[in-house]
Amino acid sequence: MDIAGGRFVVTGGASLIGSHLTQQLLEAGAAAVILFDNYALGSPEVAASLAQDRRVTAVRGDITRLPELLNALDQVDGVSCSRPRWPPMATPRLTRLTK
Ligand SMILES: NC(=O)c1ccc[n+]([C@@H]2O[C@H](COP(=O)([O-])OP(=O)(O)OC[C@H]3O[C@@H](n4cnc5c(N)ncnc54)[C@H](O)[C@@H]3O)[C@@H](O)[C@H]2O)c1
């Protein structure tokens, strides 16, 4: 998959791993990155800092709530799951949705 010009969702995007991943996507020329996070562990300040780049949109949402997740996944080229450590059942569900 080409990253340059692509649109991506990073779940857990406000986490340590998710924020670094977002920076990598931006450096590789991504056209848009949606940080999808419920801020259970991640920091809204981290998301706000990243969102200073006009290509980044911070979306508060929970991967266990299907409508919120499907809305974020609309018209994106790729999804990166910075896997939340909790709840453990969320990641298999997200993996099935994005196959
Ligand atoms: N931090 C590290 O040094 C490190 C090293 C190796 C592996 N990992 C793994 O990488 C993954 C991410 O680690 P981390 O430390 O960056 O983040 P983390 O596990 O501390 O946080 C995960 C992120 O997901 C968000 N989140 C949690 N539940 C959510 C939900 N239901 N819907 C939406 N967002 C949700 C949290 O708010 C947080 O931003 C974990 O699986 C971890 O085990 C982390």
Say how many domains are in the chain. Answer: 1
* pLDDT on residue 32: 96
Minimum CA distance residue for ligand 1 atom 38: 42
**Closest among 94, 21, 99 to 63, alpha carbons compared:** 94
Minimum CA distance residue for ligand 1 atom 5: 17
pTM: 0.84
Q: Is 1 domain-assigned? A: no
Q: Is 28 domain-assigned? A: yes
* pLDDT on residue 44: 95
Distance CA 35, CA 63 (A): 12
CA 69 to ligand 1 center in whole angstroms: 17
Minimum CA distance residue for ligand 1 atom 39: 42
Task: Write the CATH number for 61.
Answer: 3.40.50.720
The residue ranges of the chain whose pLDDT is under 50 are 88-90, 97, 99
- The encoded tokens of residue 83 equal 């896997």
Q: Is 12 domain-assigned? A: yes
Residue range(s) defining the domain that contains residue 47: 7-96
Residue-wise pLDDT tens digits, 40-55: 999 999 999 999 999 9
Distance CA 36, CA 63 (A): 8
Which residues does ligand 1 sit against, CB inside 6 Å?
11-12, 14-18, 37-42, 62-64, 82-85, 90
CA 84 to ligand 1 center in whole angstroms: 4
Q: Is 18 domain-assigned? A: yes
* pLDDT on residue 95: 52
- Give Cα 26 distance to the centre of its chain: 13
